[in-house]
Amino acid sequence: MEWEKIIRYEKPGKRRKIHTLPGGEEVFVHGRSLIIVPPDSGRAVLSSAASNGGYFEGPSAITNTTSLGGDAGAELMMAGRNAHERYWELSMENIGVDPLTTVGLGTAVTMDKASITTESSGGITVSAVVTAGVEGNGGRAGDPATYNELDNAIDGTIVIILIIDANLPPHAMARAIITATEAKTCVLQQLMARSLYSHGIASGTGTDQVAVVCNRNSDVTLHSAGKHSLLGELIGKCVMKGVYAALDNWASLTPLSQRDVLKRIERYGITEDDVLEHCEWADRETAGNNLRRISSDGRLVSAVASVLHIEDEIGWGLLDPAEGRSVGNGIIVKSFSEILGANLAGDIDPDGDLIGNITAALGMSLSKPLP
């Protein structure tokens, strides 16, 4: 098997320390893995990890490991659960970590793109070590399934390791996972990150993983990690900051990069070529350059974002379709006229499909002299 050959002959190099967390946990990068080493055996972990997941007392390490990628990664992905367990054991042995006492998570993101954030208040300290990429398998809860676990498995892309320097009973650790997950989803919604499997805004990726680490030796015991508690507030702030940074680190996904009309309509399956089909210019290269130039115009992004939100609310059943489309198409005609000087009043069906009309309006505007 190709993947096993690669692992057996892999040379991970030297272990490199990159951070010490407030609770004394040391963070290292070694080969394809990020390793968090507790200062003593008093840590407990509750996680969705594939390796030693669930509730685990006294871990020697918590790791996040980059998948192999390429043909070997694809081969491993289809090889089944036993192969994954063997892959995990060999990978940990390569970096001198005991697979029996290590909680292991995994992702396609490389560990040099991880973010480390900390929030403290009122004697409580929370840290998050995050890797994140949503462009490869971002999805929204309830989207159509893309695989059956009985057939194969796929790697995760947003991994959150939450370290809380306090003693938490198991129920509070479980609530911390909920709060961290909500915080992650808030970031994706605020970035308008798209689902690859529907027209919706992503709520995560198909295989996200979370681990919550608490300190059983702490003098501080906390029983609540919900949003009303100080711990919940710190988890939310820490995870949001960490996910924002990790998405930027990996794929430069930021609020500024999303300030783009083409990015916004992408989740409806609309491409640059679809827009240019409505453009009368024969010189498609020039038309494409002009499209990309106007696509980042903040006023145009604002107008299109407003229309897309109307389309979303129609889909959610919050707006009557006819009323919503009437108002949305009015915004298209008025805003494209004011911003781009394109008189589209006779070209846009006032009761027509909003996404189709946005696409047509962009293309037809390119056929007019631009300001």
The C-alpha atoms of residue 58 and residue 45 are separated, in whole angstroms, by: 8
* C-alpha–C-alpha distance, residues 35 and 32, integer Å: 10
pLDDT of residue 369: 58
H helices within 66-139, ranges in order? 70-77, 81-94
Count CB neighbours of 241 within 10 A: 18
Q: Give the whole-angstrom CA distance, residue 201 versus residue 312.
A: 9
DSSP secondary-structure letter at 128? E
pLDDT of 84 reads: 79
Least confident of 10-14, 179-183, 189-193: 10-14
pLDDT at 281 exceeding the cut of 60 = yes
When comparing pLDDT for 136 and 35, which is higher? 35
Winning range, highest mean pLDDT, from 140-154, 159-173, 279-293: 159-173
What's at 272, amino acid-wise?
E
What's the pLDDT at 153? 40
Domains of the chain are 2-251 (3.60.70), 261-366 (no CATH)
Q: Please give the average per-residue pLDDT across 116-132, as a whole number.
A: 97
Paired tokens of 67: 């998948």
Q: Name which residue leads in pLDDT, 96 or 75.
A: 96
Would you give the distance in Å from CA 197 to the centre of its chain?
14
Question: What's the pLDDT at 306?
Answer: 98
DSSP track, 161-203: EEEESSB--HHHHHHHHHHHHHHHHHHHHHTTPBPSSSSSBPS
